[in-house]
Amino acid sequence: MERKVLFELPSLYRDNFRVTGLTFGSGKKSLCIVGNTRGNEYQQIYICSQIVRKLRELEAKGRLCPGHEIMVVPSANPYSMNIEKRFWPTDNTDINRMFPGYDLGETTQRIAGGVFQAITGYEYGIQFTSFYMPGDFVPHARIMDTGRDYVDKAEEFGLPYVVIRKARPYDTTTLNYNWQIWDTKAFSLYSATTERIDEESAESMVESVLSFMATEGMIQRRGHQGYRSQVIKDGDLVAVRPYVGGMFQSGIRINQRVLKGQELAWITDPYDGSVREKITSPVTGVVFFVHNRPLTYANTAVLKIVPGE
């Protein structure tokens, strides 16, 4: 394993800002894995640390296949993580909305530009990321639909779902989108949690990445091949939205099968505890996403369901 600084930014008041990459093997640029770009993505950096640990074990046993370079970038935003702030501390901008970056731009544009320059040219790219809304997910792989067809590669992760997301204008500045524009087959992997470490979910994500690498001939390893992935479009997911805001209390969990008309959650009044709304399922299917904050607004998706009888 080789550890190197990919990008460094001087600081006036504390140690320099550094983005570090850990490289395994040599040869063609086969795979780059990126962890957190936001300061609250603790599960994401933890998953990357466990992938690094597994790769070091495989390297010690001589089970990395020759001719492949694999790079892991556990964190692209250590400053925000140090102070537990999701976005860049000084101006609250999102690094994952700044790609491909600009070396003469604002701070986060410079960071995105420096990181992107170091991680381009790989055949495959994996980003462990989080959703813009707080909540827990069924672990899945997500591909931005930019006209490139490599869904079969996403199925090699062996995760329950592969979600195809239609690119929107604001997606054009994300890492996933720009990786694809620069000819890297990019996958966004979503773990069950973001702000807390979930060991079971993290282990399944590590296994999924190792399964992908083994299938692509980067490592020599036998193990559980995971699920036969169900491919769905982002628009297929049924969003469940309350009519009123208040305290959110859920009676279900991710990956749970629910029936049409089943009572799933409640919105209660934060002052007197009365139930303001009972949320029922509009369809029969599997719970894909559950909001995990105490409060919610009206007309905000608190649940998403994969429909299916």
Position 6 pLDDT exceeds 70: yes
DSSP 8-state secondary structure symbol assigned to residue 65: P
pLDDT tens-digit series, residues 225-281: 677 899 999 999 999 999 999 999 999 999 999 999 999 999 999 999 999 999 999
Q: Which two tokens stand for residue 44?
A: 């994401």
Predicted confidence at residue 148, as pLDDT, reads: 82
Predicted confidence at residue 14, as pLDDT, reads: 76
For 83-135, the three-class secondary structure string (H helix, E strand, C coil) is CCCCCCCCCCCCHHHCCCCCCCCCHHHHHHHHHHHHHCCCCEEEEECCCCCCE
Distance CA 270, CA 197 (A): 29
User: 238: helix, coil or strand?
Assistant: strand
Average pLDDT over residues 270-293: 97
Cα(first)–Cα(last) distance of the chain, in Å?
48
Distance CA 76, CA 154 (A): 24
Average pLDDT over residues 112-118: 97
DSSP 8-state secondary structure symbol assigned to residue 155: G
Distance CA 44, CA 55 (A): 17
User: 246: helix, coil or strand?
Assistant: strand
Q: Which domains does the chain have, with CATH numbers?
A: 2-233 (3.40.630.10), 237-307 (2.40.50.100)
Predicted confidence at residue 223, as pLDDT, reads: 64
How much is the mean pLDDT over the chain?
A: 94
Distance CA 40, CA 36 (A): 8
Whether pTM exceeds 0.85: yes
Distance CA 124, CA 182 (A): 11
Average pLDDT over residues 112-139: 95
Q: Which residue has the tokens 């395994």?
A: 24
pLDDT tens-digit series, residues 143-195: 998 888 899 999 999 999 999 999 888 899 999 999 999 999 999 999 999 99
Can you say how many angstroms the Cα of residue 126 is from the centroid of all Cα atoms in its chain? Answer: 9
